[in-house]
Amino acid sequence: MARVKTKYVCQECGYETPKWMGKCPSCNTWNTLVEELTTKSSSKHTGIGQSSNVQPESITAIKSNEEERITTDMPELNRVLGGGIVVGSLVLIGGDPGIGKSTLLLQVSDQLARKKERVLYISGEESTRQTKLRADRLAITADQLFVLSETNLHLIKNQIEQLKPDFIVIDSIQTIFKEEVTSAPGSVSQVRECTSELMRIAKTNNVPIFIVGHVTKEGAIAGPRLLEHMVDAVLYFEGERHHTFRILRGVKNRFGSTNEMGIFEMKEEGLREVQNPSEIFLEERSEGVAGSTVVASMEGTRPVLVEIQSLISPTSFGQARRMATGIDHNRVPLLMAVLEKRVGLLMQNQDAYVKVAGGVKLDEPAIDLAVAVSIASSFKDQPCKPDDVLIGEVGLTGEIRRVSRIDQRVQEAAKLGFKRAIIPANNLDGWTIPKTIEVVGVNSVQEALELTLN
């Protein structure tokens, strides 16, 4: 006979305990432990590999083959995935509600279906008629695109066995449930078991599966972190609902590089790719204004030119405020301390507001020099030269340290018409400088300020 036991599972990290607690001892979150019923069978459980005769092999004897990929008509999506959709992979895509996840996957499904690939789009949140309304708006008419509105995993498996699709979309994983699991759909147990079953379907049938995941108010994918560990790739769809631009960012990819970024623009007829994002981020830049600089940042393998804006104003309170949007907020007071100590700019009684224009999030150290010069420009009320691009990491002693892939950054700046690039002096050797741009090496923040501020 099967025995029914009660346990409490944290919906944030998956921690299990036999009794309820107000605070999870694993992730320190409050009121996240939910009661779940588990059934323990008295019979022995047979493991996956118990009856297998697989023997360990030498790493040199294993043959390595190039992964078979399905290329879509979206080069930006292919870039983020590392060159296309790997056959047999399980990809998780997350994003805020209404950001465009379903629109993106429906457009990709239509493109693959037009290539005579049999596509199964499973919607657990909308009926087939609602999906059809979105498809009409996106002008989707491929007859090899099949739509199913179902949340029962057992019935979904039956339809997959009958249809034998070449590409599957699950929208979303939080709505799918497995009958053997007694907890509610979206719980830790349901998400873990359903994702594990979908992973087996993808690997055994050699069919790629895209699953949509909801995100929490903090921006992380809802459910335990185990969900991100199980899948082959994790993509985040970012952007403001009231702005047209969307950023598809890869944070995990077993078949390609991480931190790749694809730019899309939401139109009336769906998502449209942005081939040159640097032009988009700089098209509304105001020249001759203090506090504005341009930096060449690397997003994966792609260089992107972005404007950094700073506003320094006298504080009206007892303690000065430090606010940042698009970069780590701890970086602003650190760079301001370097400017005070090494350059002599007294900003203790100044409020500082730093923003990355365009809604991009930059987290690499190569943007330090552009941020520091932007802050100093606003503090002195002296505009920087509009044709300058600044690249470099700032150390606590005021030195400018070398950065990676300096040749790609400078080439992107030259392509967009910038006349001068201020880079670390240690980055001057070992590459060919484009003829259309002047490259100046600096060793300290003081030298950079003397060059950029009139």
- Which residues are documented as binding site? 95-102
Is the pLDDT at 2 greater than 70? The verdict is no
Rounded to whole angstroms, the Cα distance separating 196 from 362 reads 34
Q: Please tell me whether residues 298 and 271 are part of one structural domain.
A: no
Q: What is the pLDDT of residues 300-324, one digit of tens each?
A: 788 999 999 999 999 887 789 999 9
State which residues form the domain around 223.
Answer: 69-275
Cα-Cα-Cα-Cα dihedral sign, residues 55, 63, 195, 225: positive
The answer, yes or no, to whether the previous bond of 172 is cis (omega within 30 of 0) is yes
- Which residues are documented as binding site for ATP? 95-102
Cβ(339)–Cβ(308) below 8 Å: no
Mean pLDDT value across residues 180-196: 84
Is the pLDDT at 290 greater than 60? The verdict is yes
In this prediction, residue 45 has a pLDDT band, given cuts at 50, 70 and 90, of very low
Q: What is the mean pLDDT of the chain?
A: 88
Q: Of 253, 275, 297, which one is at a domain's C-terminal end?
A: 275
Q: Please tell me whether residues 120 and 162 are part of one structural domain.
A: yes
Residue 39 has a pLDDT of 59
CATH number for the domain that contains residue 334: 3.30.230.10
Q: Please tell me whether residues 317 and 375 are part of one structural domain.
A: yes
Q: Please tell me whether residues 392 and 435 are part of one structural domain.
A: yes
Q: Of 275, 294, 317, which one is at a domain's C-terminal end?
A: 275
pTM: 0.77
Q: What is the pLDDT of residues 128-157, one digit of tens each?
A: 999 999 999 999 989 999 999 999 999 999
3-state secondary structure of 16: strand
Residues with Cβ within 8 Å of residue 92, at least 6 apart in sequence: 173, 211, 212, 213, 221, 227, 228, 231, 233, 234, 235
Is the pLDDT at 217 greater than 60? The verdict is no
Q: Please tell me whether residues 228 and 299 are part of one structural domain.
A: no
Cα distances (Å, whole numbers) of residue 10 to 5, 29, 107, 151? 16, 9, 36, 23
Residue 60 maps to a domain: no
Rounded to whole angstroms, the Cα distance separating 145 from 143 reads 5
Residue 46 has a pLDDT of 41
In this prediction, residue 383 has a pLDDT band, given cuts at 50, 70 and 90, of very high
- The tally of domains found in the chain comes to 3
Is the pLDDT at 40 greater than 60? The verdict is no
Q: Please tell me whether residues 95 and 164 are part of one structural domain.
A: yes
Q: Of 216, 242, 275, which one is at a domain's C-terminal end?
A: 275
268/119: higher pLDDT:
119
Q: Please tell me whether residues 304 and 446 are part of one structural domain.
A: yes
3-state secondary structure 44-75: CCCCCCCCCCCCCCCCCCCCCCCCCEECCCCH
